[in-house]
Amino acid sequence: MEPVVVQDFVPAIDLSGRATAEGRAAIAAAIGKACESSGFFTVVGHGVPDDLVNRMYTTTKGFFTRPEEEKDRSANRGSGVSGLRRPGGPYEAFAAHVTGDLSDEERAALGTHPATWKAANIWPDDDFKAVWHEYIAAMTELSADIMRLFALALGLPEDFFDSKFDEHVSLIIANYYYPGPDDVLRREMHTDWGSLTVLYVEDELGGLQVRRDDDDWLDVPAIPGSFVVNIGDLMAFWTGGRWASTVHRVVNPEGTDAPSRVSIPFFYLPNHDTTIEPMRPLAQESAEAGLDRVTVGEWFSHKMQSTYQASA
């Protein structure tokens, strides 16, 4: 196996030059190269205010350290409501959708397939809700521009994806990891199902790993103040396999009895009725070979079915 430089496999890309056409072209080329290899990169110079990120993390950590009976008032209540979840294992999570504050009728109209974006948000209090809304708006703005850079990287018109995300059904999840020993996986290996994931890097402790080849796990460089960006299975399908959706996991930093921590990924998802067609034929060995075109709603239904069948 050839040695790999992690910074080449998961490069750091400076977005501060994206205000000019020349800068955007150079950034798009770097993003395209990363997406063809690992599908992961980190971004600096992103323009998201430090104050907003700090308020988001302070607010969210404060929620998870509230008394249990107080948190229970925001608990998930089946498929109809987002909110606090305790899935078992070394963490609990709080989730919200950009569509979750719509009326019952508006959410019910978001496709015929069962989908989490049809669930109502449930908020602990108005201050929490306000900070989360502000952060979601910032993540949406950043993600939308990354999608425009994706379009340039793929040789498409820069606004190619705009109309496919103008009523997006994106999801944000705050994962609260309990303190634990270094031999415990915080998240098992997986790929993301959607188009684009954006995750803030709070400190240098790290723990996120990507898989290269069959069992070669590489640490994603932890650059405080950056965002880790990765594409999911939907984007890999959309590009006809040209771009890679890579298996990843979360471990405790080596040699530490890790403290609790919060991780808040934002999953940027297209409109529920956007039709996705591969930009070139999929290889026969692809997990999605045989799918010619699907709506986003059909895609997530397909992923749910195939996942449950595989685990049965």
Q: pLDDT tens, position by position, for the chain (312 residues)?
A: 333 445 678 999 999 999 999 999 999 999 999 999 999 999 999 999 999 999 999 999 999 999 999 999 999 877 667 899 988 778 899 999 999 999 999 999 999 998 999 999 999 999 999 999 999 999 999 999 999 999 999 999 999 999 999 999 999 999 998 876 655 656 677 789 999 999 999 876 667 888 887 778 888 888 899 999 999 999 999 999 999 999 878 777 665 566 788 999 999 999 999 999 999 887 766 767 678 889 999 999 988 887 665 544
**φ, ψ (nearest 5 deg) of residue 4:** -125, 140
Return the bridge partners of 180, or none: 258
Instruction: Write down the pTM of the prediction.
Output: 0.92
**φ, ψ (nearest 5 deg) of residue 75:** -75, 145
CA-CA-CA-CA dihedral for 151, 152, 155, 159, to nearest 10: 50
Q: Which of 37, 86, 81, 36 is nearest to 64 (CA)?
A: 86
Q: What is the largest CA-CA distance in the chain?
A: 55
